[in-house]
Amino acid sequence: MKKNIYFTKKNYILVVVGLLISVLGYVLMAGGNPENPAEYSDDIFNFRRLTLAPFVVMTGYVVVLIGIIKVYRKEDGEVIDNSSETVKPERIKK
Protein backbone atom coordinates (compact mmCIF):
# COMPACT_ATOMS: atom_id res chain seq x y z
CA MET A 1 0.00 0.00 0.00
CA LYS A 2 1.38 3.38 -1.04
CA LYS A 3 1.13 6.35 1.23
CA ASN A 4 0.22 9.61 -0.47
CA ILE A 5 1.72 12.45 1.51
CA TYR A 6 0.74 15.70 -0.14
CA PHE A 7 2.42 18.09 2.28
CA THR A 8 6.16 18.42 2.40
CA LYS A 9 8.25 19.97 5.14
CA LYS A 10 8.08 23.32 3.32
CA ASN A 11 4.27 23.23 3.40
CA TYR A 12 4.22 22.65 7.14
CA ILE A 13 6.75 25.44 7.68
CA LEU A 14 4.62 27.87 5.66
CA VAL A 15 1.49 26.96 7.59
CA VAL A 16 3.21 27.43 10.96
CA VAL A 17 4.79 30.73 9.87
CA GLY A 18 1.39 31.95 8.67
CA LEU A 19 -0.20 31.05 11.98
CA LEU A 20 2.55 32.87 13.87
CA ILE A 21 2.07 35.96 11.68
CA SER A 22 -1.67 35.87 12.38
CA VAL A 23 -1.07 35.59 16.13
CA LEU A 24 1.30 38.55 15.92
CA GLY A 25 -1.46 40.54 14.22
CA TYR A 26 -3.91 39.71 17.00
CA VAL A 27 -1.32 40.74 19.59
CA LEU A 28 -0.89 44.07 17.78
CA MET A 29 -4.67 44.51 17.85
CA ALA A 30 -4.96 43.94 21.61
CA GLY A 31 -5.13 46.59 24.30
CA GLY A 32 -6.27 50.17 24.19
CA ASN A 33 -8.87 50.04 26.95
CA PRO A 34 -8.69 52.85 29.49
CA GLU A 35 -8.06 52.27 33.17
CA ASN A 36 -11.37 53.92 34.01
CA PRO A 37 -14.23 52.58 31.84
CA ALA A 38 -16.18 55.83 32.30
CA GLU A 39 -13.41 57.76 30.51
CA TYR A 40 -13.10 58.02 26.76
CA SER A 41 -9.77 56.77 25.42
CA ASP A 42 -8.49 57.64 21.98
CA ASP A 43 -5.95 54.80 22.12
CA ILE A 44 -8.24 52.30 20.40
CA PHE A 45 -8.30 54.39 17.22
CA ASN A 46 -4.58 54.50 16.46
CA PHE A 47 -2.80 53.30 13.31
CA ARG A 48 -1.49 50.09 14.89
CA ARG A 49 -4.93 48.74 15.86
CA LEU A 50 -7.02 49.95 12.92
CA THR A 51 -4.66 49.50 9.98
CA LEU A 52 -1.48 47.59 10.73
CA ALA A 53 -2.91 44.72 12.81
CA PRO A 54 -5.68 43.69 10.34
CA PHE A 55 -3.16 43.83 7.50
CA VAL A 56 -0.77 41.56 9.43
CA VAL A 57 -3.59 39.11 10.27
CA MET A 58 -4.71 38.91 6.64
CA THR A 59 -1.11 38.43 5.51
CA GLY A 60 -0.84 35.49 7.90
CA TYR A 61 -4.02 33.95 6.46
CA VAL A 62 -2.64 34.31 2.93
CA VAL A 63 0.62 32.61 3.95
CA VAL A 64 -1.36 29.73 5.49
CA LEU A 65 -3.41 29.41 2.29
CA ILE A 66 -0.24 29.35 0.17
CA GLY A 67 1.21 26.71 2.48
CA ILE A 68 -1.84 24.53 1.93
CA ILE A 69 -2.19 25.00 -1.83
CA LYS A 70 1.44 25.11 -2.99
CA VAL A 71 2.87 21.85 -4.38
CA TYR A 72 6.61 21.43 -3.91
CA ARG A 73 8.89 18.97 -5.64
CA LYS A 74 10.44 16.30 -3.50
CA GLU A 75 14.19 16.47 -2.95
CA ASP A 76 14.83 13.31 -4.99
CA GLY A 77 13.25 14.80 -8.14
CA GLU A 78 9.75 13.34 -7.96
CA VAL A 79 6.64 15.45 -8.26
CA ILE A 80 3.73 15.00 -5.88
CA ASP A 81 0.34 15.11 -7.59
CA ASN A 82 -3.24 14.22 -6.71
CA SER A 83 -3.25 10.81 -8.43
CA SER A 84 -2.36 7.60 -6.63
CA GLU A 85 1.15 7.53 -8.10
CA THR A 86 4.03 9.95 -8.12
CA VAL A 87 5.07 11.13 -11.56
CA LYS A 88 8.71 10.96 -12.60
CA PRO A 89 10.10 14.20 -14.11
CA GLU A 90 10.93 12.50 -17.43
CA ARG A 91 7.22 11.67 -17.93
CA ILE A 92 6.09 15.25 -17.48
CA LYS A 93 5.28 16.99 -20.74
CA LYS A 94 7.10 20.28 -21.10
Report pTM: 0.70
Domain range annotation of the chain: 9-91
Q: What is the dihedral of CA 73, 77, 78, 79, to 10 degrees?
A: 30
What pLDDT is recorded for position 9? 92
> Smallest Cα–Cα separation from 44: which of 29, 57, 58?
29
pLDDT digits (tens, 9 = 90+) for 34-73: 788 888 888 888 999 999 999 999 999 999 999 999 988 7
Average pLDDT rounded to a whole number, residues 71-84: 61
Between CA 16 and CA 14 the distance in angstroms is: 6
- Beta-carbon count within 10 A of 83 CB: 8
